[in-house]
Amino acid sequence: MLVKRYGILNAEIASVLAHLGHTDAIAIADCGLPIPVGPQRIDVSIRKGLPSFVDVLDEVREDMVIEKVVFAEEIKTRNQKLHAKIVERFPDTPIAYVPHEQLKILSSGCKAIIRTGEATPYANVILYAGVIF
């Protein structure tokens, strides 16, 4: 029986977000990002393209105070359409870019990595938790 009125219904994602502290990080990833040993793997992919990276990002953004975001530098040239959609969602949040290989290394320090069904290149982000005060 569903008892939540609103917010993220996925129990694993809701739990991870509830347990984050200031500067803790989570990643939202496309279906191809290698997930290292360490972070909790939350696989919400159903099939290629479903759910999309943006759908998952939008829901997480509604529930999480985000202090900083990090993308792979390559998204700016290799996935311009998605990059434009993402940047507009973070008008007041610092955005950093690192080489994709560095993003993969940084992902090993995340509390969790949410794997989506996204099948476009460099659709990966690391979100750093802020505080509500």
Kindly report, residue by residue over 39-57, the tens digit of the pLDDT.
999 999 999 999 999 999 9
The CATH code of the domain that includes 73 is 3.40.1650.10
Is residue 132 predicted with pLDDT exceeding 70?
yes
Tell whether 18 is covered by a domain.
no
pLDDT (mean) for 9-26 = 97
CA 32/CA 9 separation, integer angstroms: 24
Q: How many domains does the chain have?
A: 1
Tell me, yes or no, whether 15 lies in a domain: no
Domain assignment of residue 39, given as a range: 23-129
- For residue 7, tell me if it sits in a domain: no
Judge whether 4 lies within some domain.
no
pLDDT at 48: 97
Q: Is residue 78 part of a domain?
A: yes
CA distance 25 to 5: 26
- 52-82 tens-digit pLDDT: 999 999 999 999 999 999 999 999 999 999 9
Question: How far apart, in whole angstroms, are the C-alpha atoms of residue 56 and residue 105?
Answer: 22
Please give the backbone phi and psi of residue 115, each rounded to the nearest 5 degrees, phi first.
-95, 120
- 83: annotated binding-site residue? no
> Is-cis flag, bond preceding 39, omega within 30?
no
Q: Which of 22, 23, 46, 108 is catalytic?
A: 22
3-state secondary structure of 61: helix
Overall pTM surpassing 0.75 (yes/no): yes
Q: Sheet with 112-115: list strands edge to edge.
A: 40-43, 112-115, 25-29, 125-129, 66-72, 95-98
pLDDT at residue 111, as a whole number: 98
Residue 122 annotated as binding site? yes
